[in-house]
Amino acid sequence: MRSRFTAFATGDRNYLIHSWHPRTRPAELDLDTAMRWYRLDIESTRGGSPFDSTGEVAFTAFYRVRAGQAGTLREHSRFERYDGRWVYVDGSITPS
Whole-number pLDDT of residue 2: 94
Residue 54 in 3-state DSSP?
Answer: strand
Q: How many domains are contained in the chain?
A: 1
| Full-model pTM | 0.92
Instruction: Determine the Cα–Cα distance for residues 74 and 95; give it in Å rounded to an integer.
Output: 7
In order along the chain (96 residues), what is the average pLDDT of each group of 10 residues?
A: 96 97 96 94 96 97 91 97 97 88
Whole-number pLDDT of residue 56: 98
Q: How many CB atoms lie within 10 A of CB 80?
A: 19
Whole-number pLDDT of residue 54: 98
- Domain around 62: 2-94
Instruction: Answer whether 54's CB lies under 8 Å from 47's CB.
Output: yes
What CATH number does the domain containing 21 carry? 3.10.450.50
HSE-up (13 A, CA, CB side) for residue 9? 13
